[in-house]
Amino acid sequence: MTTMSSFFSWVAQRGWRHLVAIVMCVFAIFPLLYVVSASFASSGTLTASNQLFASFTFDNYVDLLSDPDRPYLTWWFNTLIIAASAATIALLFGSLAAYAFSRLRFRGRRIGLGALVLTQLFPQFLGVVAIFLLVRTLGDAVPALGLNTHTGLIAVYLGGALGINTYLMYGYFNTVPREIDEAAKIDGASHVRTFFTIILPLVAPILVIVWMITYIAVAGDYVIASAILSDPNMQTATVGLFTLINTFRSDNWGAFSAGAILSALPVVLMFLYGQKYIIGGLSAGSVK
Amino acid sequence: MFASLRKKVGVAVAVAGALALSACAAPAPEVSGKLTVWTEDYYVAIFEPLAQEWAAEVGIEIEFVTKDFFEMTNQFIAAVPAGEGPDLFIGGMATTLLVGNGVVAPVELGDKANLFSANALAAGQLDGVQYGIPFSIENVAVYRNTDLAPEPAATFDDAIATGNELVAAGSADSPFAVGVGPDGNSYLLMGLQSSFGSTLFDGEELTIDDQAGQDFAAALADWGASGAINPDMTLDIALTQFKEGRTPYLITGPWDLNGIKESGVPYAIDPIPSAGGEVAAPFAGNYAVYQSSEATNPLAASLFLTDFMTRTATAVGIFEGNKTLPALIPAQEEVSTDPDVKAFAEIGATAVSIPGLAAMDQVWGPWGETEMAILRGQAADPVQAWIDMGVRIREAIAAG
Amino acid sequence: MRLSTTKPASVGSALRPKASIFGLTVKIILIGLVDAFGLFMVSQFFLVDQIGLAAVAILGLVVINVIYWRRGGLAAKYLTPGLVFLLVFQVFVIIYTVIISFTNSGTGHNVSKDSAIESIINNSIVRVEDSPTYDVRVLEQGGNLFLLATSPDGDFFLGGQDEPLKPVVPSKTASGIATEVTGYNTLKLAQIFAVQEELAELTVPLDDNPADGYLRSADGSTAFVFSANLVYDASNDTFVDPSTGNTFVDNGAGNFVDSNGEELQPGWNTAIGFANYAKALGASAQVELLGVFVWTLTYAVSSVALTFGLGLFLAITINGLRGTRLYRSLLILPYAFPVFLSGLIWSGLLNETFGFVNQVLLGGASVPWLQDPILAKISVILVSVWFGFPYFFLVCLGALQSVPPELAEAARVDGAKPSQVFSKITLPLVLVATSPLLVAGFAFSFNDFNTIFVLTGGGPINIDSSISAGATDILITLVYKQAFVNTTVDYGLASAFAVIIFLVITIMSIFLFRRTRSLEEVY
């Protein structure tokens, strides 16, 4: 009887949460099992069979990594470099801007905040022609910022990332009590010091999150990356992989799935590792 | 004073740096000499080994760039005027479009023009000028599983009857496989449509919605309702069902031949069975190589077209990869011993060319959509839906 | 305790000298580098004759230096790094798109007028029918190229650019092909490659009468006789067909046309005023478009609301559970795969006849998930939630960390129930931190091309629609269908639509912002 009631109270307090978590995890994962299955299958199709894991072979991975026409490893590292650089620099710029909006009072602050988000409302998908022409013009003068360069692509992403990131961090910075800045100021720390050594460590969770969100957005982008990078050795994994399957001769699904899984790995590993910074020691006082 | 000193130091650092950067960038190396070719993944794999051998012989360098099949034509059109395009472009024939955008250069084959199948060559011409050099002539056919259906079907109705018996007996899942889903595939269905005597254009006059076309629309509605053609069947599912022996018939092209061979299913290649009484003539598609109008290596590019592409060894080599009838006549003779090629070529002899009109761009969309709606039973009156489609296409062509 | 007030003080006291030498050095180096790069860019812009851009770059450099070297203006110092990129790559792109929207840019009008003229000239040069094939060698003298031609009759000629062919006596091969002429240097293939662009331009007149045609060689070993069937008259800016006298004139919309309306291809890129807007608004005048607009709004709002709701709910529910690390890692997985891949998988899963959901989960049911107009709308919303909830899950996870535990603790001490703590303390604080993202998320969903396009392509099709709008078509997928018809691409029209959509969504967002501002003031 006691065990029963303690079971029910466990269900009421925690058990249902486990249930929700498990159901949602299944919802999140089951479509992806198709990708995993296709990556180990010999048939080269994606959804034509409802029998998952009917065959098991590493051929797709071997194909993917050994075909000289598909420099997948190069794509993989390109993605890592482009997405990590863009995410890091965007994080720096975004946090500087968020600090200004959160801590400093200046003319046009409200309007500026609004304008920042308004620029993000532009359907970039339809603006890609302009981006292409702009990067080409820049590249005529400064080849390092031109078409087919990683630096050029990173620069485009930096322009696109500022608005949302700033907003996300602005909200978080606002939750850090101002007294902390004041105390540092009284102690004679310069604003730069205060920002880098006091504020940033306090907002570490949002920094990790913004970094990851930017990384994922950049790594998953197809429209801009495919417009700017045409040389296969410069492309990102998303662009390179898409050329494998965007055809009516659809027998590349196995290699494509293998590639998609290898591309998702860094994100998953980063999250596993980054979680502790997001949660920190902070969950102690949260909802129980 | 301190502030002004800071400014001076800053400016000095800046100028020094700018000079250093300029020094690095100053001698912009103008050495190209490398022939660049854009094409899809599939043809990179087929062309590259052959072309590298040729390039070594001629003494130039050649580089293949893999492009996205559905995007590459537009990317080529955008990149050439920007000076970012390749020297050569390999893809489906698109002469009207490419010339209309000023991105391809004329080629003069001279007497070597006689080496090519005249129809294929004509698809690469506009106003009598040759632009695209064809290499493969492609058409679809019916692959038949000879275990399930030992004899070729005389008519489409026979094929469906056989298929339905097999499904009823539990030895097949679908009576007939054609990958029309989810968005429609009028290219694959053209054989069935033309067996009603339906054509798309007569000259520049739209004929798709004439009586023959309307008859096809009515038949399509029946097929959708009876399950003869399943609108949910995608290319992927159709091919997989055939390879796994779960359907007796599959409409597809030679590009799936190697995959079907590997699956071990016993197959024969048949003409598309007639549904409307006349010959079921599929589309003939041509693949071609074009030279960019802004090629940085015009001589090497033109040698690629007039020398490499006119060699029998090249055409046979491409055939080994794509199993598709070569456009080069000496190569056709050489590969005609292959029974599959022979079968495709015989069916191809009845094939109709895709109209080389700019107006075709306005046809594909409404055509595929209407077929799909009829197959799904979403059109209350299929014949009326077909007539409405004709109206829409005409309006779109007129609007331009 | 999360926030130590003693720590900043101790750090601060170590930094008492306000402008440290270290800080100054870093500043000089950083700004020096920026200036160096800026001046380099300016010089390069001058080199490629982009005077306007050079001026913009100079102005930008001056502004940057003023911002960082003057005292005060602290906010600008923090904002500038990001703003530079924002201005160049976001604002400028918007301006550029506006410019494109006033042009006919797109298929058939893809190049400048000069290149179009060049292309027409090149394409009009056709081989004279039944004319002989010449064997040629490429010769060089004083930096100019010449063709040494052997006619089919075995006669030998030499000629160059604008120098008509004249008979010569060359050295020749055993088979009677001319190879060399004294005073000229015969080029080997490798040498010809070095001059191939000049060779491509080389036209050698057959004789003094240009109408007789030119000799041209594309490959350096054979030459054919060509003549032009169109002649460009630069003084009148017209093309004339010499055989018929038919004249093609610039029609002001990027094409040469004759009196019968026949156009020469290619056309060129030129300004056409408000024509694209007229076309876009003409299409918008359809009543049907209102339906698409309403659906776009419905999609955007429900997608964001559900995505955010689920993300927040999960972030809260899973917090502090045993195995929470594993749960979290699994929950972000949908986010780690590109949308077009998972979209294709979902469209396969939801296939009516063959899909996993109907076949396996529902034991052979035939639910038309993506075929029925209503069900398809629900399906795309649900799948968009699958795509998007990990994003808000992550964001809310972060936002929850910003809720000071003391607040919740204090409320609890005051006797608030856990549900009250949540609804009165946690939720409002999380909303403050995330509400601007809801607006941005709304804008994103409003233009969420990928999800719709990959999943349904806008379908199920409605063949009665005069604007080809399927049941799940949102504005941006409809624009795509209008401006990118198969291989015909109309960038001008697409840009005009982009500008219109931008204006519409801006107005709606400003309205939404007014609402969120009142939220923010809660804090």
Sort residue B377 into left (φ over 0), alpha (ψ -120 to 50) or beta: left
Among the listed residues B99, B97, B68, B367, the one whose alpha carbon sits nearest the alpha carbon of residue C488: B97
Cβ of B59 within 8 Å of Cβ of C193? The answer is yes
Amino acid at C44: Q
In C402-455, which residue ranges form alpha helices assigned H by DSSP? 405-413, 418-420, 427-446, 449-455
pLDDT surpassing 80 at residue C372: yes
Of B225-234, C202-211, C390-399, C479-488, the poorest mean pLDDT is in C479-488
- In chain A, whose CA is at the least distance from the CA of B82? A136
Average pLDDT estimate for A211-236: 88
Of A31, A163, A286, the CB nearest to C345: A31
pLDDT of B176 reads 96
Give C237-240 contacts, CB < 8 A, sequence gap 24+: C239/C120, C239/C124, C239/C264
Residue C269 C-beta-side C-alpha neighbours within 13 Å: 19
Cβ of B81 within 8 Å of Cβ of C111? The answer is yes
- Best B22, B30, B41 residue to mutate vs chain A (most A CBs within 10 Å): B41
When pLDDT is cut at 50, 70 and 90, the band that residue B286 belongs to is confident
Q: C286 and C467 in contact (C-beta within 8 Å)?
A: yes
| Chains in touch with B (≥3 Cβ pairs < 8 A) | A, C
Q: Say how far apart CA B328 and CA B309 lie, in whole Å.
A: 9
Q: A282 and A205 in contact (C-beta within 8 Å)?
A: yes
- In chain B, whose CA is at the least distance from the CA of C37? B18
pLDDT surpassing 50 at residue B395: yes
Kindly state the percentage of chain B with pLDDT values over 70: 92
Strand, helix or coil for residue B67: strand
Distance from CA of C233 to the nearest CA of B (A): 19
Chain C residues closer than 8 Å to B361 by CB: 485-488
Strand, helix or coil for residue A34: helix
Q: What residues form DSSP beta bridges with C257?
A: C249, C263
- In chain B, whose CA is at the least distance from the CA of A243? B68
Distance from CA of C198 to the nearest CA of A (A): 23
Average pLDDT estimate for C83-99: 89
- Sorted by where each starts, the structural domains of chain B and their CATH numbers stand as 34-138+284-353 (3.40.190.10), 141-281+358-399 (3.40.190.10)
Distance from CA of C200 to the nearest CA of A (A): 25
Q: Say how far apart CA A31 and CA C472 lie, in whole Å.
A: 22
Q: Extract the tokens encoding C21.
A: 């030498």
Chain C residues closer than 8 Å to B369 by CB: 461, 463, 468
pLDDT of C365 reads 85
List, in order, residues 6 or more apart from A177 with CB less than 8 Å away. C3
Q: Extract the tokens encoding B241.
A: 């069902």
In B247-381, which residue ranges form alpha helices assigned H by DSSP? 257-263, 298-306, 312-322, 329-335, 339-348, 360-375
Chain A residues closer than 8 Å to B239 by CB: 45, 48, 250
Beta strand pairing call for B201-202 and B283-291: unpaired
Q: What residues form DSSP beta bridges with C489?
A: C484
pLDDT of C339 reads 82
Q: What is the mean pLDDT of chain C?
A: 84
Stronger pLDDT, C138 or B400, i.e. the higher one? C138
pLDDT digits (tens, 9 = 90+) for A100-121: 998 888 888 888 887 887 887 7
Q: What is the mean pLDDT of chain B?
A: 87
Displacement of CA C301 from its chain's centroid (Å): 27
Q: Looking up tokens 């690390």, which residue turns up? A: C325
pLDDT of B360 reads 86
When pLDDT is cut at 50, 70 and 90, the band that residue A90 belongs to is very high
Among the listed residues B163, B137, B198, the one whose alpha carbon sits nearest the alpha carbon of residue B351: B137
Residue B276 C-beta-side C-alpha neighbours within 13 Å: 25
- In chain A, whose CA is at the least distance from the CA of C310? A24
Beta strand pairing call for C247-250 and C238-240: antiparallel
pLDDT surpassing 50 at residue B18: no
pLDDT of B144 reads 97
pLDDT surpassing 70 at residue B222: yes
Amino acid at C447: N
pLDDT surpassing 70 at residue C310: yes
Stronger pLDDT, A147 or C468, i.e. the higher one? A147
Q: B343 and B269 in contact (C-beta within 8 Å)?
A: yes
Chain B residues closer than 8 Å to A130 by CB: none
- Sorted by where each starts, the structural domains of chain A and their CATH numbers stand as 15-57 (no CATH), 70-282 (1.10.3720.10)
Average pLDDT estimate for B55-69: 88
In C102-150, which residue ranges form alpha helices assigned H by DSSP? 113-124
Cβ of C107 within 8 Å of Cβ of B101? The answer is yes
List, in order, residues 6 or more apart from C466 with CB less than 8 Å away. B392, C286, C288
When pLDDT is cut at 50, 70 and 90, the band that residue B167 belongs to is very high
Q: At what angle do helices A253-279 and A16-40 cross, to 10 degrees?
A: 150
pLDDT surpassing 90 at residue B183: no
Chain B residues closer than 8 Å to C487 by CB: 73-74, 94, 97, 361
Average pLDDT estimate for C268-277: 90
pLDDT surpassing 90 at residue C265: no
Average pLDDT estimate for A19-42: 89
Cα–Cα distances in angstroms (integers) from residue B286 to residues A209, B133, B136, in the given order? 51, 10, 6
pLDDT of A4 reads 67
Of A42-46, C299-303, C312-316, the poorest mean pLDDT is in A42-46
Amino acid at C166: K
Task: State the CATH architecture for C281-520.
Answer: Orthogonal Bundle (1.10)
pLDDT surpassing 80 at residue B93: yes
Among the listed residues B282, B250, B301, B242, the one whose alpha carbon sits nearest the alpha carbon of residue B90: B301
Q: Extract the tokens encoding B167.
A: 């499904």
Largest CA distance in chain B: 100
Q: Say how far apart CA A74 and CA A64 lie, in whole Å.
A: 12
pLDDT surpassing 50 at residue C7: no
pLDDT of A257 reads 87
Q: What residues form DSSP beta bridges with B39?
A: B66
pLDDT of B283 reads 92
Cβ of A46 within 8 Å of Cβ of B236? The answer is yes
Q: At what angle do helices C21-47 and C51-69 cross, to 10 degrees?
A: 170
Could you give phi then psi for residue B9, rounded to 5 degrees?
A: -60, -45
Of B216-230, C31-45, C167-181, the poorest mean pLDDT is in C167-181
Beta strand pairing call for B177-178 and B249-252: parallel
Average pLDDT estimate for B53-81: 87
Chain B residues closer than 8 Å to C350 by CB: none
